[in-house]
Amino acid sequence: MVGTVGLVLHPQRDSKKAIDTILRWAADKGATVLGLPEEVGRIDCTAVPVDATSLVERADLLVGLGGDGTMLRTMRLLAGRPTPILGVNLGRLGFLAEIDVDELPGTLSAIDEHAYTIEPRMAIRSTVAGAEVTAFNDIALVRIPGEGLAGVSVTPSGSPFVRYSADAVIVATSTGSTAYSFSAGGPIVSPRVEAVLVVAAAAHSSFNRALVLPADEEVTLQVLPTSGRLAVEVDGAVVGHLCPGDSITVSAWPGAAKVVRLGTTFYERARRKLRVDGSAEVD
C-alpha cells in the first residue's frame, strides 16, 4: 500500500495538472504527498515540503514529473534504495517515463495494488575531485573548445587496451546507450543487460570502435600528456575538470534504481523516441 508519495518536479515545465491529480488520489486514499521545498513552493498546492533526506526516507513511491532529465535526477536521489520510481511525461516522449498525466489515477491505483513490475536500472560510479559521483546515463570526459582534443587511455580490469583521440570519451550504462553514447555511434543496449559501454565521440584515430564491458570490471580513463584539459560530465552536468596525467576509475552499480513498468517495452519506447523505421524492404 502506498501511504506516502514523493514528488520530483521538472524545473520549468507546467506540472500543476499532474500534482493536482496526485493530490486528489492521495486524499481519497488517505495518503500523504511530499515534495522538495524549492519545487512545490512555486506551485499553489498542499504537498508537504520536506528536505531531500526526508523525501527519500519517507516516500513509498517517488514520482518524477517531467522528462528523462527529471527521471535521472529522481533515480540519483533514490540510488541504492528499493523505493519504486514512476516517471510521468510532461511534454516530449522519453525513454524512462512510463505514462502521461491522464493515466495517473489508474496507474497510482495499480501501484497501490501491486499490479506492476520493476525494471532495475544499473548506475555507474566514480570519484571526481575527491567527491563520489553517480550516473545512470553516463560519465564523459569532454574536450573544452580551444584547449585541444581529448586524449584518453582506456584500461579495463587493469589491462591497457586503447588510446583514443576524440571530442569525448563516454562511459555509459545500458540506460545511457540511447543518450550521448548513441549520438557518438554506440550500440543500443537493453536495460536488462548490465554492461558498461566505452564510446569515443568523433574519434581522430584509426580505432574508433566502442567497447562493451561486463558490470564486474572497472575501467580506468587516464588523460594523456598530449590531451587538452577535459570537462567531466555526469549525466550531462559538468562536475569537474581533469588535466594531463589525471585519471578516474568507473565501476558499475547493478540494480541501483527501481523503475515502475506497466506493460510498455524498452523496444517500443526506443522505436518511438528514435523513430526507427528500419531499412528498405527487399523483394
User: Is 82 within 8 Å of 261 (Cβ atoms)?
Assistant: no
- Out of 14, 60, 68, 112, the active site residue is 68
* Cα–chain center distance at 195: 14
> 272 vs 88, 90, 93, 187, 269, CA distance in Å?
16, 16, 8, 17, 5
Query: What confidence category does residue 45 fall into, taking pLDDT thresholds of 50, 70 and 90?
Result: confident
202 labeled part of a ligand binding site = yes
Ligand-binding site membership of 181 (annotated): yes
Rounded to two decimals, the pTM is 0.92
Exposure of 222 in the CB half-sphere (CA atoms within 13 A): 13
Residue 278 banded pLDDT, cuts 50, 70, 90: low
Cell numbers for 155, please give them.
584500461
Residue holding cell 522505436?
271
Q: Which tens digit of pLDDT belongs to each residue from 191-204?
A: 999 999 999 999 99
69 is in an annotated binding site: yes
At 27 the pLDDT is 94
Sign, Cα dihedral of 119, 94, 266, 200:
negative
Q: Is 220 annotated as a binding residue?
A: no
68 among known catalytic residues: yes
Torsion of CA 32, 256, 247, 233, to 10 degrees: -50
Q: Is pLDDT of 279 > 70?
A: no
pLDDT tens digits along 184-236: 999 999 999 999 999 999 999 788 999 999 999 999 999 999 999 999 999 99
Whether the pLDDT of residue 1 is over 90: the answer is no
Q: Is 126 annotated as a binding residue?
A: no
138 assigned binding-site residue? yes
Q: pLDDT tens digits, residue range 128-173?
A: 999 999 999 999 999 999 999 999 999 999 999 999 999 999 999 9
Q: Which domains does the chain have, with CATH numbers?
A: 4-116+262-274 (3.40.50.10330), 123-254 (2.60.200.30)
Q: Is 68 annotated as a binding residue?
A: yes
pLDDT in tens, 240-254: 999 999 999 999 999
Paired strand residues for 211 = 198
Q: pLDDT at position 282, please?
A: 47
Question: Per the annotation, does 279 bind a ligand?
Answer: no
Q: Is 183 annotated as a binding residue?
A: yes
Task: Report which of 148, 141, 140 is spatially closest to residue 226, judged by C-alpha positions.
Answer: 148
Q: What is the pLDDT of residue 273?
A: 81
221, with CB counted inside 10 A (0-12, 13-18, 19+), is buried
